[in-house]
Amino acid sequence: MSVDRNQDTAVHARIYGRVQGVGFRFFVQAQARRLGVRGWVRNEYDGSVEVSCEGSAAGVDRFLKQLKKGPPGARVDRVEASPMQYQGLFRGFTIEP
């Protein structure tokens, strides 16, 4: 997915593979905070991880690249990302139940 790097953007993503039980959500939160991306991450019942985020287009682009790598111990099979309308609603990055 390519984005205009000169403006803010928002993205919803699902990450599939071995992404639960390996510290993936904590990795995602740390990467988001490092890159200035705001939003949330949570585990899904089907074994995937869901992310909703917003920030600078450049930050979100770098963040998506990190989602494709994951932390040590994870195996990312695929990331499905789709743009959302940027609304500027998030203030930080949280791990949701």
What DSSP assignment string belongs to 1-24? ----TTSEEEEEEEEEEE-SSSSH
Give the torsion sign (CA, 30, 18, 15, 69). Answer: positive
Catalytic residue among 14, 18, 42, 43: 43
Q: Are 18 and 74 in contact (CB under 8 A)?
A: yes
Q: Is 25 a residue of the active site? A: yes
Q: Is 43 a residue of the active site? A: yes
Catalytic residue among 5, 25, 33, 38: 25
38-43, strands of its sheet edge to edge: 75-84, 8-18, 49-56, 38-43, 93-95
Catalytic residues: 25, 43
